Chains A and B, each alone.
Chain A
Amino acid sequence: MTVSFKTHLAGLLVVLFSPAAVAMNVFACEPEWAVLARSLGGSAVQVVTLGDQTPAFRPRPGGFAAVRATDLVVCSRDARPGSGLLRLLQRSDNRGALPGEPGFFNPRDSIPAGGAAGASATRDPAIHLDPRNIMRVARSLTGRLVVLDPDNAEIYKRGALAFFHRWRAAMSKWEAQARPLRDTAVVLDRPDWQHLSNWLGLRPLGPLQHRAAVPPSLHRLSRLLEQATDQPDAIVIQTAHAPQQASAWLANRASLRIAHLPDSVNPADDEPLITLFYTLIERLSNPQTQ
């Protein structure tokens, strides 16, 4: 009994005073990057999020305090002047975490912007819906963690290696599972979901909405309806956090099937990022008839 108590105490002291116990504070705007930072940093990082996934991004006072205390901000959303994110960063008065500083990491900078789809793809915030992008972001995020916290470099490198290993294995499974989906016509309910259809080789018939907050016109609906009547196997994609009336209307009118897709990870899952892609492919493969 005493021996085991002593070893426990020794273990506790090691945890308390080893460098790994001094966690680096990471603030992530989006839940997918919070999960990624946790997988890479393990015990060396302490990750906080706002839990606000809406595009409008209205941070509460708690958000200012969290950003002020952070060593690294990881945000893929818009950080241009006037955006909610930039206001949050400026108001938090953490100079090291402003865009351009080492303490600010935009996952979108890790994605090559080229080719015909490049222009729209760089504007599309949903880069995490292509697992190849997750791989790219993981690589450069590891590099940034090592730069900011060289004492724990070993932990980050080990975390990254383990992550890459699991991710490659999962990716080959997903690609095999999703092969029948290639060239399936889909109607997206929002303008910014290019990355998922690029990866899976889906054929988008054009989004229902061309701007996130503006409802579609009758003109657009009528055109999509005409296109959809030639493609009875097309799938209408309903995403979380988007109004569902238009997609439900189109699916009903054209007798199309609906796939209801999550737009990010569920942090309560065991391996949230891996579960996300299994869920996406599973729901796309089994769309619901209305």
Chain B
Amino acid sequence: MNFELLLLPSLAGLLVLLMIVPLGRIVVDQGIVFVDLAIAAVAGIGALAAQFAGYSDIWVLRAAATAAALLAGLLLAWCHGRFPASRQAAGGAVFALASAAGLLLLDQQPQADVHPFALLIGDLLWTTPQMLWPAAVVTLCVLTGLIAGQLRLAADSVAARLLFFLLLALAVNSAVQIAGVLLVFASLVLPALAVRGAGAAAGITLALLVGIAGFAGGLLGSLYIDLPAAGLIVACLGAAALLCGGLRALIAPSRDAAG
């Protein structure tokens, strides 16, 4: 078997997990999992709009996607503070509207070779070394920002909220370009669910281990069995999350119930 094929996808997967999993804990605790889909959809509009304006250089498209993602982050941060009761719905609404706008834009541009499936169930297999550098920079930003912001989304602090949503926008935009919406959504939600209620340091370590187990299992599985990597990775993530959650419930049932 060609194990060398696993090198770049594994590195990319590790970067995705490092930037997404710590944010996932906050997203799940706040009950705002749709913001991830919302940001990804708005970032897609950014790239499409740039294509519409006649640009085709990949760096211009990426810059447009990043700018759109950051705008979405600002909008969601404002909604989060302004309409506390409708946080979950706000994410879903932005997702639905942005997806519809993307569909309408795509329709106006039939020559665009954007395959909707490629964006949705992208996988890590096509990673090139040139794609890893920007992702590594974003990962560093997210981790530094989270540590500086003490890994918390303080509901009363506008600055902390803004920092969190901008980091989330950067991370989701960067991760989706490598791994596709499905993998990023699964990485955000499943490990965080498995470690709900655990303390900060232990929780993040455990969640990262769940993520690594899922990605490794899925990539290795796709090398041995003829099945698409993205689907296998998510299945393995789900299995690892179930296993971790189950074990935690066995060891400390009360703590899990509190989460």
Query: Chain A residues in contact with chain B, CB under 8 A?
Result: 51, 210, 213-222, 225-226, 240-246, 248-249
Contacts and interface: CB of A to CB of B under 8 A. Distances in A.
B109 to A, nearest CB: 13
Interface string B1-44: 11001100100000000000000000000000000000000000
A284 B198 CA distance: 59
Given A215-B123, A222-B1, A249-B126, A240 B113 contact: yes
B68 interface: no
Given A217-B227, A219-B223, A222-B1, A243 B115 contact: yes
Contacts of A210: 226
Nearest 7 pairs of A and B residues by beta carbon: A222-B2, A218-B222, A245-B126, A218-B223, A243-B115, A243-B118, A217-B222
B121 A225 contact: no
Pick from A51, A213, A222 the residue with the most CB of B within 10 Å.
A222
Interface of B: 1-2, 5-6, 9, 110, 113, 115, 117-118, 121-123, 125-126, 219, 222-230
Given A242-B115, A246-B126, A215 B229 contact: yes
Contacts of A248: 126
A244 B226 CA distance: 20
Contacts of A246: 125-126
Contacts of A245: 118, 122, 125-126
B225 A217 contact: yes
Contact of A218 (B6, B115, B117, B121): B6
A5 B240 CA distance: 85
Contact of B2 (A214, A215, A226): A226
Contact of A219 (B115, B121, B226): B226
Given A222-B2, A222-B223, A249-B126, A215 B230 contact: yes
A241 B117 CA distance: 11
B117 A243 contact: yes
B5 A221 contact: yes
A61 to B, nearest CB: 14
A217 B125 CA distance: 9
A20 to B, nearest CB: 33
Query: For A210, A225, A243, A244, which residue has the most chain B Cβ atoms within 10 angstroms?
Result: A243
Contacts of B126: 245-246, 248-249
A245 B229 CA distance: 14
Contacts of B224: 219
17 contacts: A51-B110, A210-B226, A213-B117, A215-B117, A215-B122, A215-B228, A217-B222, A218-B9, A218-B125, A219-B224, A219-B227, A222-B223, A240-B113, A245-B126, A246-B125, A248-B126, A249-B125
A214 B231 CA distance: 10
B113 A215 contact: no
B5 A222 contact: yes
B221 to A, nearest CB: 9
A96 B219 CA distance: 52
B5 A214 contact: no
Contacts of B222: 217-219
B125 to A, nearest CB: 6
Contacts of B110: 51
A217 B117 contact: no
Given A218-B219, A245-B125, A246-B126, 10 more contacts: A51-B110, A217-B222, A217-B225, A217-B228, A218-B229, A222-B2, A222-B5, A222-B223, A243-B118, A245-B126
A244 B5 CA distance: 18
A225 B115 contact: no
A203 B107 CA distance: 36
A244 B122 CA distance: 12
A117 B167 CA distance: 54
User: Interface centre among B118, B121, B219, B228, by most A CB within 10 Å?
Assistant: B228
A232 to B, nearest CB: 18
A215 B124 CA distance: 11
The winner among B118, B126, B224 for most chain A CB atoms within 10 A is B126
Nearest to A56: B116
Nearest to A249: B126
A216 to B, nearest CB: 7
Contacts of B219: 218
Contacts of A218: 5-6, 9, 125, 219, 222-223, 229
Contacts of A221: 5, 125
Contact of A244 (B6, B113, B227): B113
A213 B113 CA distance: 15
Contacts of A222: 1-2, 5, 223
A10 to B, nearest CB: 43
Contacts of A216: 125, 228
B121 A215 contact: yes
